[in-house]
Structure 1
């Protein structure tokens, strides 16, 4: 889980990132407390700044919005927007 804290604009990037929104995310626990440094994630669901989101990494991130035969360099992707936390 993470909170979207900003966005990244990059005019020069790998072709697999062209047309994809890059967001700065801050990993959090279920209480909203920061647990890791900020990182950049490819947004597959249209998340906005201030929203809490679900992240996937590795192979899941590379498949989050692409077909199987497309080379993708992403290692972190936003795949869901969290509506609420239940403890």
Structure 2
């Protein structure tokens, strides 16, 4: 599981039948302190997130497909939560 911020949306008029009705969002992965980390990821939204929101997302087939709740959907990344707050408890970052 990773943390990131939604930076945009993707509109697709033609897509796999299992993805009809699914919202596609661009996520910038981040370190817990908000520093961008790595390349932007295209993810399926399963929680109703929007641009500018900080989210939890998973990458890798099975976890991402399970999050969407559609068996056999061709999914590599899925948004699984909206972050309300991050609380640092130790000096580990």
Paired position in structure 1 for 2:91: none
Q: 2:56 aligns with which of 54, 57, 64?
A: 54
Alignment root-mean-square deviation, CA: 0.9
Q: Does the Cα contact within 8 Å between 2:44 and 2:68 map onto a contact in 1? A: no
Deviation at 1:80, TM superposition (A): 0.2
Superposition map of 1:4-83 within 5 A: 4-58=6-60, 59-67=62-70, 70-83=71-84
Q: Does the Cα contact within 8 Å between 2:9 and 2:26 map onto a contact in 1? A: yes
Deviation at 1:65, TM superposition (A): 2.3
TM-score computed with the length of structure 1 as normaliser: 0.92
Q: How many residues align?
A: 85
Q: Where do 5+ consecutive residues of structure 2 fail to align?
A: 89-93
Q: Where do 5+ consecutive residues of structure 1 fail to align?
A: none
Higher strand proportion: 1
